[in-house]
């Protein structure tokens, strides 16, 4: 009897061991290393709203994070606003490590934009919603626009990194809500060391404008308007590294003394020189951003008073 049990046991033992080994190997295959997990979750960093809350970040990444991209977008209330912001969000949520800073030209956060930002949810992009009104005296044709909003975005970024223990790699650019952005543009700008530049399509009364590059250096500007500007470039045509923004705390967009069309030059003059510019997009020979303009919406048949049975946000 005893020997029977023993022989049964000895027959089953190798099989049991085999099953244990297989289960073990299988579970090993299903748990990817932390680095792979991180690569699939580009928005591992939480947006501002969650700052201060306890963070669950058990697995610190082994490899250095991609430089963060801050996109500063001034926006104002108009019939196409929600359509433009939706278009932009659909682009930005495909970009890893992008933080969207949406700055309303308004004395309060409007309901429309607040609802829009709340609706971005987990699919991203992480978004910080700011607001600052343009003083009425500056709301005149011929005066530069969105100055206060861009400065509010810059101030937020500087504040956020004020007490950072070590300078974090990053880059910022000014993403107006009517432009169209190729995903390639973000790959190009992410490696910006100081200030990088690239062509812009459909701008300045031409099919494109671009920095003229010789031997890898910017030597002039192909532009239809005032090529004598120190930096004859559109707001959509450059990115600045976080380090440059932090080490030049006085660099902001000026109201006083800034002539129309000189905003970009006046700003860039404070932080860099033409010789230092880093040409992107194959030495500035590819258009990866377009200064698209939404046609003015025809609302000629819009009733004076609300006639529909439901109220719909557009």
Ligand X SMILES: *[C@@H]1O[C@H](CO)[C@@H](O)[C@H](O)[C@H]1NC(C)=O
* Short-list 203, 138, 194, 142, CA closest to 176: 203
Q: Shortest Cβ distance from residue 215 to ligand X (Å)?
A: 5
Binding site for ligand X (CB under 6 A): 215-216, 282-283
Q: Shortest Cβ distance from residue 217 to ligand X (Å)?
A: 8
Does residue 101 sit in helix, strand or coil? Answer: strand
Closer Cβ to ligand X, 216 or 303, answer by number = 216
Q: β-pairing, 98-104 with 127-131?
A: parallel
Query: In the Cβ-directed half-sphere of 105, how many Cα atoms lie within 13 Å?
Result: 19
Q: Shortest Cβ distance from residue 238 to ligand X (Å)?
A: 17
Closer Cβ to ligand X, 24 or 214, answer by number = 214
84 is catalytic: no
Q: Shortest Cβ distance from residue 17 to ligand X (Å)?
A: 57
Q: Shortest Cβ distance from residue 95 to ligand X (Å)?
A: 21
Strand order, beta sheet including 217-222: 180-181, 289-290, 200-203, 206-214, 217-222
Percent composition of the chain: helix, strand, coil (DSSP 3-state, to 5)? 35, 20, 50
Instruction: State how far the Cα of 299 lies from the Cα of 295, in Å rounded to an integer.
Output: 12
Which backbone phi and psi does 265 adopt, to 5 degrees? -65, -45
Cβ-based neighbours of 218, under 8 Å, separated by 6 or more: 197, 211, 212, 274, 275, 277, 279, 284
Of these residues, 51, 264, 276, 302, which one is catalytic? Answer: 264
Which backbone phi and psi does 185 adopt, to 5 degrees? -60, -35
Closer Cβ to ligand X, 101 or 218, answer by number = 218
Sequence ranges of the binding site for Mn(2+): 178
Closer Cβ to ligand X, 75 or 196, answer by number = 196
Sequence ranges of the binding site for UDP-alpha-D-glucuronate: 74-76, 105, 145, 150, 176-178, 291-293
Q: Shortest Cβ distance from residue 184 to ligand X (Å)?
A: 12
Instruction: State how far the Cα of 210 lies from the Cα of 91, in Å rounded to an integer.
Output: 23
Instruction: State how far the Cα of 221 lies from the Cα of 269, in Å rounded to an integer.
Output: 15
Closer Cβ to ligand X, 146 or 284, answer by number = 284
Instruction: State how far the Cα of 116 lies from the Cα of 81, in Å rounded to an integer.
Output: 11
Closer Cβ to ligand X, 86 or 282, answer by number = 282
Instruction: State how far the Cα of 114 lies from the Cα of 257, in Å rounded to an integer.
Output: 34
Which residues are catalytic, by number?
A: 264
């Amino acid at each position: 009897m005893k020997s029977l049990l023993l022989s049964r046991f000895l027959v089953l033992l190798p099989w049991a061991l085999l099953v244990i080994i297989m289960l073990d190997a299988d579970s090993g295959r299903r748990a990817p290393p932390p680095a792979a997990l991180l690569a699939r979750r580009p928005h591992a960093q939480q947006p501002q709203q969650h700052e201060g809350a306890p963070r669950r970040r058990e697995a610190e990444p082994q490899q250095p994070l991609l430089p963060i991209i801050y996109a500063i977008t001034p926006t104002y209330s108009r019939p196409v606003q929600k359509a433009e912001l939706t278009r932009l969000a659909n682009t930005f949520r495909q970009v890893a490590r992008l933080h969207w800073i949406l700055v309303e030209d308004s004395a309060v956060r409007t309901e429309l934009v607040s609802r829009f930002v709340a609706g971005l949810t987990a699919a991203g992009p992480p978004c910080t919603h700011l607001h600052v009104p343009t003083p009425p005296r500056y709301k005149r044709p011929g005066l530069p626009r969105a100055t206060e909003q861009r400065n509010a975005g810059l101030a937020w970024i500087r504040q956020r990194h004020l007490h950072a223990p070590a300078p974090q790699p990053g880059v910022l650019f000014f993403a107006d809500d009517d432009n169209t952005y190729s995903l390639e543009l973000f790959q190009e700008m992410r490696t910006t060391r100081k200030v990088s530049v690239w062509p812009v399509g459909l701008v300045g009364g031409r099919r494109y404008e671009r920095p003229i590059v010789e031997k890898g250096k910017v030597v002039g500007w192909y532009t239809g308007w005032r090529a004598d500007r120190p930096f004859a470039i559109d707001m959509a045509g450059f990115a600045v590294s976080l380090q440059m923004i932090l080490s030049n705390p006085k660099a902001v967009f000026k109201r006083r003394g800034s002539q129309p069309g000189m905003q970009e030059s006046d700003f860039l003059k404070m932080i860099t020189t033409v010789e230092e510019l880093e040409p992107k997009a194959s030495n500035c020979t590819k258009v990866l951003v377009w200064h698209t303009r939404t046609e003015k919406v025809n609302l000629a048949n819009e009733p004076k008073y609300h006639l529909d049975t439901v109220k719909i946000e557009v």
